[in-house]
Amino acid sequence: MPKQLCIFKVMYKDFYSLKESPFNITADPDFFFASSRHEEAFNHLVYGIRSRRGIIVVTGEIGTGKTTLCRTILSRLDQTVKTALILNPVFSDMQLLQMIINDLGISYVKKTKLDLVGAITLFLIEESAKGNNVVVVIDECQNLNIRQLEQIRLLSNLETEKEKLLQIILVGQPELGEKLKSPSLRQLTQRVSVHYHILPLLKNEIEGYINHRLKIAGADPRLKFTLQAVEAVYAISQGTPRVINILCDRALLAGFAKETFTIDHSLVHESARETQYTYEHH
């Protein structure tokens, strides 16, 4: 970000009494907004985890909130659920196992693949004996190769007669759904118990989403997006949260430059031009 823009951002936070930036593009669970789709996805996932269903798949287009949803779920599970979150699984299947082990906090000595799987198995059995559940979330799974996906299937095989010892959530862009249709992954696909595809926000949820984020960031109550501004945000973003954030962040900057608490549609359009999000993108 250019230095001048950074300084402006600090100043607009002051001007609107913000504790933090309301429209950051990080996947921060503190800002989670339970839109109809996100809430439904949340419930499906929690159900899948609680009922120990093994493999769960979450797909969605770029920027629809997959990572935010996963972080939110992990932050809300209780102490009896041990979790690991793998954000960038661009490694070999060995390294993937190592990351899972590290994130679950399992200590292990030897380093062959068999040792790693053995260490995970022992951990799962111990946790199960304590009545605990174990969840591994793997993000960006559209980038995994067949070998890694096969390794994941092997992990999910660990079960008692009644339930899976490990719940695995595979998260990715729609290409993941396509990949899972490949005949060589049939064994994995057959084990998928829940598949949820996240869709963008609905038109009538945009205002709630914007106000929710403003409120959490502690915005001055005088700061308002007009109805037409909200409509413009929807028209340009088509409800994709990341695009909404980029637009609204810029609109606040433009509003600050004009020293206004009312963000109208002209400010949104100006932001769309500056961020290169225009109607033509959709």
- Closer to ligand ATP by CB, 89 or 165: give it: 89
Considering the complex, state which of residue 67 and residue 128 has its C-beta at the smaller distance from Mg ion. 67
Query: For tokens 């959530």, what's the residue?
Result: 169
For residues 264, 265, 266, 271, the Cα torsion angle rounded to the nearest 10 degrees is: 100
Q: Cα–Cα distance between 277 and 280 in angstroms, integer?
A: 8
CA dihedral 91, 93, 95, 98 (to 10 degrees): 140
Q: Nearest distance from residue 67's CB to ligand ATP, in Å?
A: 3
Q: Which is nearer to Mg ion, 63 or 255 (CB)?
A: 63
Single out the segment in contact with ligand ATP by CB under 6 A; choices: 50-58, 60-68, 109-117, 184-192.
60-68
Q: How far apart are CA 142 and CA 58, in angstroms?
A: 11
Handedness of CA 260, 263, 268, 274 (dihedral sign): positive
Q: Which does 32 bind (CB under 5 to 8 A by kind): Mg ion, ligand ATP, none?
A: ligand ATP
Compute how many other C-beta atoms are within 10 angstroms of the C-beta atom of residue 20.
Answer: 12
Q: Pick the closest to residue 254 from 1, 2, 3, 15 (CA basis).
A: 15
Identified binder of ligand ATP from the candidate list 68, 128, 151, 271, rule CB under 6 A? 68
**223-262 positions binding ligand ATP, by CB under 6 A:** 241-242, 245
Residues linked to residue 60 through DSSP beta bridges, in sequence order: 198
Q: Name the one range near ligand ATP by CB under 6 A: 66-74, 96-104, 108-116, 180-188.
A: 66-74
Given candidates 21, 35, 59, 67, which one binds Mg ion under the rule CB under 5 A?
A: 67
Token digits of residue 151? 């390794």
59 near ligand ATP (CB under 6 A)? no
Residues within the interface to ligand ATP (CB under 6 A)? 24-28, 31-33, 35, 38, 60, 62-68, 173, 241-242, 245
Residues within the interface to Mg ion (CB under 5 A)? 66-67
